[in-house]
Amino acid sequence: MVKRLLIFVFSIALVARAFGFQPPAGQGGFEPVTGLPPSEQISAAPLLIAAYAFVWVAVLFYLWTIWRRLNKVEQEMQALERRSHTR
């Protein structure tokens, strides 16, 4: 199934290239938007800070969950070790 899908996508790409489908011509370069009213303008700093804060919180949460799971595994290993010594 996956092989057929890959062949189909590849053949569509070849056909598109053969017929010379090109994306429409874009601008020559970056052109900043000017003339926006002040109510429509947003400073980039708060968005950047929020993005970094979100990523750091997500990383710290992930590390905390790993730490908890490792503690559980360690406790289970100690319990198994105690059981094997009592037999």
Taking only the tens place, the pLDDT of each residue in 50-82 is: 999 999 999 999 999 999 999 999 999 999 999
More confident site: 26 or 65: 65
Asked if residue 68 belongs to a domain, the reply is yes
The count of domains in the chain is 1
Asked if residue 70 belongs to a domain, the reply is yes
**What residue type is assigned to position 41 of the chain?**
Q
Can you give the C-alpha Rg of the chain in angstroms?
A: 28
Give the residue among 19, 21, 10, 65 at the shortest CA–CA distance from 57. 65
pLDDT of residue 66: 98
Q: What is the DSSP string of 15-42?
A: HHHHTT--PPP--SS--------GGG--
Asked if residue 77 belongs to a domain, the reply is yes
Instruction: Tell me the residue range of the domain where 75 lies.
Output: 44-87
**What residue type is assigned to position 32 of the chain?**
P
Please give the distance of CA 70 from its chain centroid, rounded to a whole number.
Answer: 25
For the chain, what percent of residues have pLDDT higher than 70?
84
Asked if residue 64 belongs to a domain, the reply is yes
Asked if residue 52 belongs to a domain, the reply is yes
